[in-house]
């Protein structure tokens, strides 16, 4: 369950879903870049397109003509799915959440659908081989973790980024296992399978790519698009959902959902795709590529997320400010102008890092990231003193953490030897004399110097010992 929300918002459980309740209003979104009249340039779709958040629409003609009018007519319901194939989402998934946040800010209702069922099937889109089978227990635990993460991000957005004068739509977090768990195989195939055509399913790019590969495609993976199509149909019937968001690699699955609904009910629904977030060399950011930056702090700390964004190349920072922040476009231009005036300060990178870290980890997470940054890169003793044990261990993830009894007369060389930071005997002693050791960013070159509280031992009882350039040791001192 997420933290309590501001104002009248709260999460409640309903038939396996978690709903963020809040009064909603009709939001006239006018129209977008998608053909329309002059007022279109004030609309939600136009804004999302201008920020680079939208890539394609399906069916193209209908979406460009009718969808803006549908959004203008009143609050609509939009959904995006997230398969819990890991215990955390990553930066590559964040854009989809941000897409939902933009719709919610415009007064529309949003559904975040966790694939407790489909994660056990495996989406072949963008994959070169079949996923390893996951147990139901692992999927359940992953689902719980991802639900908490999504709820946290929606909470942070409302608390830190939302204009209080706007009334938001509702947020509902669902698990598709709840509408599949009572189906039999025969029943589901009889109900859903008759509305899908093999020729169309076989023509999908993701299917064709896998069929031509050495490993081919299993029947399990082939049925994935059928389950995603039925998801859209179920959400359309139960929640009145007419719009699905997905990455551009999900276009085939979006098309299957549209075709399914069109055959069953004849209702017009729409798919909107988002660009895939890629690295500087064009690789998709995600767990499959092995370069994931996670959204859960136990896998990627707020500091690591902050630094990942601060280190982005100059050429991409403006694009990321548009995609991953809620800064008005005029503000983005102003930030970039400041960057051009003084590139060395990297103001745009720091603004990007601050905005995203606060969205993902909240104000406390951003403050933690800044403390860690100051402690590591600016040699700030004050920042070290303000850091918790957990922050220090996250910051120096590979550094040994030792708890030692502080005995009277403990010297610099005693401390070093107690944590095996230097060799025994004359060689280790000589390393201290040569200035190879520092404590709390201060060089110590007197081996027999007794440790001094507030100098070598910070007020939080910690010492950060460094030997050479990269070997860190964290010492937590226990009093006698």
Contact partners, residue 34, CB within 8 Å, separation at least 6: 40, 45, 46, 49, 57, 63, 64, 65, 67, 68
Sorting pLDDT into bands at 50, 70 and 90, what band is 281? Answer: low
Residues 63 and 159 in one domain: yes
Strand-by-strand arrangement of the 56-58 sheet: 10-14, 17-21, 171-175, 109-114, 77-82, 243-247, 270-274, 56-58
Q: Which residue has the higher pLDDT, 413 or 31?
A: 413
Sorting pLDDT into bands at 50, 70 and 90, what band is 8? Answer: very low
* Inside any domain, residue 104: yes
* Inside any domain, residue 461: yes
Host domain of residue 212: 44-274
Least confident range from 13-17, 97-101, 469-473: namely: 13-17
Residues 262 and 159 in one domain: yes
Contact partners, residue 189, CB within 8 Å, separation at least 6: none
State the pLDDT at residue 352. 97
Residues 189 and 265 in one domain: yes
State the pLDDT at residue 291. 64
Residues 150 and 201 in one domain: yes
Residues 370 and 404 in one domain: no
Residues 128 and 169 in one domain: yes
Are 125 and 253 in contact by the 8 Å Cβ rule? The answer is yes
Asked if residue 59 has a cis previous peptide bond (ω within 30° of 0), the answer is yes
* Inside any domain, residue 223: yes
What is the model's pTM? Answer: 0.81
State the pLDDT at residue 4. 36
H/E segment holding residue 295: none
Sorting pLDDT into bands at 50, 70 and 90, what band is 24? Answer: very low
pLDDT, tens only, 392-428 = 877 887 788 899 999 999 999 999 999 999 999 999 9
pLDDT, tens only, 191-246 = 887 777 776 777 777 777 777 777 777 777 877 888 888 999 999 999 999 999 99
CA-closest candidate to residue 83, choices 48, 31, 121: 121
State the pLDDT at residue 153. 98
pLDDT, tens only, 284-317 = 665 554 568 999 999 999 999 999 999 999 999 9
State the pLDDT at residue 10. 41
Residues 161 and 57 in one domain: yes
State the pLDDT at residue 304. 92
pLDDT, tens only, 36-68 = 333 334 589 999 999 999 998 888 777 678 899
- State how many domains the chain has: 3
In the predicted model, what is the mean pLDDT of residues 332-352? 95
Residues 344 and 449 in one domain: no
Residues 343 and 208 in one domain: no
Asked whether the CA dihedral 91, 93, 95, 98 is positive or negative, the reply is negative
State the pLDDT at residue 274. 94
Among 114-118, 165-169, 358-362, the range with the most confident prediction by mean pLDDT is 358-362
Sorting pLDDT into bands at 50, 70 and 90, what band is 3? Answer: very low
DSSP H helix total and E strand total for the chain: 19, 13
The average confidence (pLDDT) of the chain is: 84
Give SS3 for 426.
helix
């Amino acid at each position: 369950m997420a933290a309590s929300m501001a104002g009248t918002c709260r999460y409640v459980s309903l038939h396996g879903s978690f709903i963020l309740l809040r009064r909603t209003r009709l939001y006239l979104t006018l129209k977008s870049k998608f053909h329309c009249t002059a007022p279109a340039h004030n609309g939600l779709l136009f804004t999302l397109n201008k920020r680079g958040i939208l890539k394609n629409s399906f069916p193209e003609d209908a979406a460009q003509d009718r969808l803006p009018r549908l959004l203008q007519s009143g609050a609509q319901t939009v959904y995006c799915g997230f398969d819990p194939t890991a215990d955390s989402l990553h930066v590559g998934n964040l854009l989809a959440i941000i897409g939902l946040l933009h719709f919610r800010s415009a007064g529309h209702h949003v559904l975040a659908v966790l694939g407790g069922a489909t994660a056990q099937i495996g989406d072949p889109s963008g994959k070169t081989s079949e996923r390893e089978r996951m147990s139901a227990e692992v999927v359940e635990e992953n689902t719980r973790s991802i639900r908490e993460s999504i709820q946290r991000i929606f909470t942070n957005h409302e608390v830190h980024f939302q204009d209080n004068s706007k009334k938001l739509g509702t947020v509902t977090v669902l698990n598709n296992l709840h509408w599949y768990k009572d189906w039999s195989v025969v029943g589901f195939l009889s109900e859903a399978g008759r509305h899908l055509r093999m020729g169309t399913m076989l023509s999908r790019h993701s299917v064709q790519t896998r069929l031509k590969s050495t490993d081919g495609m299993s029947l399990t993976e082939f049925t994935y698009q059928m389950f995603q199509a039925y998801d859209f149909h179920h959400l359309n019937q139960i929640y009145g959902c007419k719009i699905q968001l997905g990455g551009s690699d999900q276009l085939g699955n979006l098309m299957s959902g549209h075709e399914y609904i069109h055959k069953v009910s004849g209702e017009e629904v729409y798919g909107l795709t988002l660009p895939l977030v890629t690295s500087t060399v064009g690789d998709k950011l995600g767990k499959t590529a092995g370069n994931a930056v996670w959204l859960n702090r136990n896998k990627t700390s707020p500091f690591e997320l902050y630094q990942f964004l601060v280190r982005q190349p100059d050429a991409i920072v403006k694009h990321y400010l548009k995609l991953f922040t809620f800064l008005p476009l005029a503000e983005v231009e102003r930030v970039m102008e400041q960057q051009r005036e003084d590139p060395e300060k990297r103001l745009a990178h720091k603004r990007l890092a601050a905005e995203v870290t606060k969205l993902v980890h909240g104000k406390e997470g951003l403050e933690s990231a800044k403390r860690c940054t100051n402690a590591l890169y600016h040699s700030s003793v004050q920042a070290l003193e303000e850091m918790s044990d957990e922050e220090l261990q996250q910051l120096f993830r590979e550094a040994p953490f030792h708890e030692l009894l502080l005995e009277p007369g403990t010297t610099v060389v005693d401390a070093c030897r107690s944590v095996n930071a230097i060799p025994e005997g004359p060689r280790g002693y000589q390393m201290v004399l040569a200035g190879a050791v520092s404590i709390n960013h201060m060089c110590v070159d007197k081996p027999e110097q007794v440790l001094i509280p507030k100098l070598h031992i910070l007020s939080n009882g910690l010492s950060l010992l460094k030997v050479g350039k990269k070997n860190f040791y964290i010492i937590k001192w226990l009093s006698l």
